[in-house]
Amino acid sequence: MSGTHSNNNAFRLPAEIVEQCELAQRIVRKELLPLEPEFLPHPGHSFGLKETINLKSVFGEEKTNHLIKIARDTGLWYLMVPEEFGGSGLPMLAQVAILEQFYYTAVPFPFANVPNILYECQGDQIERFLKPVIEGEKTTCFAQTEPNAGSDPGGMMQTRAVKKGDHWVLNGTKMWISMAAESDIIMVQAVTDPEKRQRGGITMFLVNRDNPGVHIEAGGIKTWLGLRAAQYTVHFKDCIVPETDVLGEVGKGFYLGQRWLTVHDRLLRGPYALGKMQRALDMSIDWAKQRITFGKPLSERQAIQWKIVDMFVDLEALRALTYQMAARSDAGEDIRAEAGMVKFTSMEWGARCVDHAIQIHGAMGEALELPLTLFYRYLRHGQIGGGANEIQRMQVARKLLKG
């Protein structure tokens, strides 16, 4: 498996999971790593865009379709899709272990990337929204954050939805919405009961992007995560949404959003960081052995040895934590606080690990032909995006001190 690590001895993963991890690793080595020299310096990709969109922006239709075919032929396209909807139905531990392998490279591998809250679709919503997303025919974005409601979305959310007959009318503004301009479906949270708010007064709506009441600011928000904007400000002005497009129950939208964030955003930050950390460690070991300064390889210098050891310790500790929480999630435990712990440790330790790798590589560490600076930007962003690390610590503290 990756570098110094073998999934064979990590929590004694079942043989079938190890086999799929090895398949993922072969795909990474044969198909994805050779594409990095073209992908890394290209201005067309950006953090927050769906894998297939990033691939098409850089490589075009032919190479992208080649990778999609591999994903579908191997069944990996449906890696995170429940069995009842045609997916593999793999437990979270298996998903985490397999995803770690794919995050070893900067080149994304295409998946059916379905927000788990979309599985709340009922009736014809399944055909109109869920199945097209599973098959990659449509894409989604999640609209919760607002200009003045980042870390406290439930308490400060201003976007309102008012019931009028058989439809709802939405008014408000969302900000920092990843992939809003590229999505077909916007999953919007809006206040439907100002008194209850996050305790039964926020509802989730499925809004088509081409709804005349939806206005996405042109150009997007420019950040250091890519030359191409991937985050946007979205305005809803007298946006009419039929009652049939309420996702789940009225008033339960905040719960749905938090459920998605708990697993698909926070817990899965673990493998997202682990793959990058393993790559950074492997690159640093190889570089330290071959790079000669003052007549000796860097690997013989204690300053470098200790950085490599610190990287290895962070990696192994995070892997143990992530796999344990994935297994506990599979066992049906409520891991909301623990997922937040995985989120902030993976982003902080991941950024620290990659920072060591950049330092070990010296000037080469800053070269765009290596993935290190891209990895660092993505991991550093993760200390803010998806719920700031301070908020995750507050949730863990609340659980520890409860009662």
123 inside domain: no
135 inside domain: no
Q: What is the span of the domain harbouring residue 373?
A: 260-401
Question: Across residues 189-215, what is the average pLDDT?
Answer: 95
Lowest pLDDT segment from 107-116, 118-127, 192-201, 259-268:
259-268
Give residue 403's pLDDT: 61
Give residue 8's pLDDT: 45
Burial of 102 (0-12, 13-18, 19+ CB in 10 A): buried
Pairing state of beta strands 292-293 and 246-247? unpaired
Which residue among 199, 221, 247 closes a domain? 247
Residues 51 and 158 in one domain: no
Question: Across residues 360-364, what is the average pLDDT?
Answer: 97
- pLDDT at residue 301 above 90? yes
Residues 305 and 227 in one domain: no
Residues 268 and 367 in one domain: yes
- pLDDT at residue 242 above 90? yes
- What band does 353 get if pLDDT is binned at 50, 70 and 90? very high
Closest CA to 349 of 291, 392, 310, 388: 310
Question: Across residues 87-91, what is the average pLDDT?
Answer: 91
Give residue 10's pLDDT: 45
- pLDDT at residue 18 above 60? yes
What is this structure's pTM?
Answer: 0.93
Evaluate whether 23 touches 88 at the Cβ level (below 8 Å).
Answer: no
129 inside domain: no
Question: Across residues 368-378, what is the average pLDDT?
Answer: 97
- What band does 77 get if pLDDT is binned at 50, 70 and 90? very high
Please write the tens of the pLDDT for every residue from 126-178. Answer: 999 999 999 999 999 999 999 987 777 878 899 999 999 999 999 999 999 99
Question: Across residues 47-66, what is the average pLDDT?
Answer: 96
Residues 100 and 16 in one domain: yes
Residues 236 and 272 in one domain: no
Residues 293 and 166 in one domain: no
Q: For the domain that residue 168 is a member of, what is the CATH number?
A: 2.40.110.10
Q: For residue 228, give the 3-state DSSP assignment.
A: strand
Question: Across residues 251-266, what is the average pLDDT?
Answer: 82
127 inside domain: no
Which residue among 205, 224, 247 closes a domain? 247
Segments in 295-388 forming alpha helices (H): 302-330, 336-361, 372-381
Closest CA to 265 of 342, 329, 333: 342
Residues 174 and 295 in one domain: no
- pLDDT at residue 5 above 60? no
Amino acid 35 reads L
Q: For the domain that residue 106 is a member of, what is the CATH number?
A: 1.10.540
375 inside domain: yes
**CA angle 246–330–112, rounded 5-degree value:** 50
Residues 47 and 71 in one domain: yes
Q: For the domain that residue 359 is a member of, what is the CATH number?
A: 1.20.140.10
Mean per-residue pLDDT of the chain: 93
Give residue 150's pLDDT: 72
Q: What's the CA gap between 233 and 79, in Å, rounded?
A: 31
- What band does 7 get if pLDDT is binned at 50, 70 and 90? very low
As for how many domains the chain has, the answer is: 3
Separation in Å, CA 41 to CA 37, 54, 91, 366, 370:
7, 13, 36, 12, 9
Phi, psi of 233 (to 5 degrees): -100, 130
152 inside domain: yes
338 inside domain: yes
Tallying the residues shown for the chain, one arrives at 403
Residues 150 and 230 in one domain: yes
Q: DSSP secondary-structure letter at 233?
A: E
Residues 375 and 275 in one domain: yes
Amino acid 327 reads A
Residues 241 and 265 in one domain: no
46 inside domain: yes
Give residue 11's pLDDT: 57
- pLDDT at residue 329 above 80? yes
Give residue 156's pLDDT: 87
- pLDDT at residue 9 above 50? no
**For the chain, what is the largest distance between any 2 Cα atoms, rounded to a whole number of angstroms?**
80
Which residue among 194, 216, 247 closes a domain? 247
**DSSP, residue by residue, 176-226:** EEETTTT-SEEEEEEES-TTTGGGTTEEEEEEETT-TTEEEPTT-EEETTE
Please write the tens of the pLDDT for every residue from 112-129. Answer: 989 889 999 999 999 999
Residues 91 and 209 in one domain: no
Question: Across residues 306-325, what is the average pLDDT?
Answer: 97
